[in-house]
Structure 1
């Protein structure tokens, strides 16, 4: 099973999430976990002892700085990497943007904050 985990926050928050990911790996023992996170956290994969198999880094800084071309490239990269690749999506954030992203992930099972798009 291919699982997308969405968690942008700081490195400490992701480290605290590892215990939960360990439980996910136990339940779905053949799972392949991909973490969608801020690009500042991309090196955490080396510290997870195989819990996280892949990272999709998102440079959110270019959105905050309103760099349009860089932002469009990030959106393209993001949608290219999340569309039609996952069986499950777990959104551990409570942001409107992550709710929108989890809506666009073409996964059969979606868990977590999807508050903005639940009626679509």
Structure 2
């Protein structure tokens, strides 16, 4: 394979390969990569585009003072240590009953349970 011929393939070659061609050497290299990917996916932290539910930003009202903000969309993600407080917030994305708060959109690490919020 020549460098740059496949726009979606990661170059796995070594610098020593002649004329910029070749794959990383090693017995069962492909099997090792696949086992690493399988382990990452099995942890449940990887999300595929088919499972994402995207939506236009909208406002929600939170009426409880201690709604946890989590680092991901679900109770299996750690809490940030912060709470929303009572107020109105902008949700920029939904996923599995969780909303990503606008203030956390860049790092994608501020999610609230929409079960405790009312869309306005």
TM-score after normalising by structure 1:
0.21
Structure number with larger C-alpha Rg: 2
Structure with higher strand content = 2
Structure with higher helix content = 1
TM-score after normalising by structure 2:
0.21
Q: Which has the higher contact order (CA 8 A, sep 6+)?
A: 1
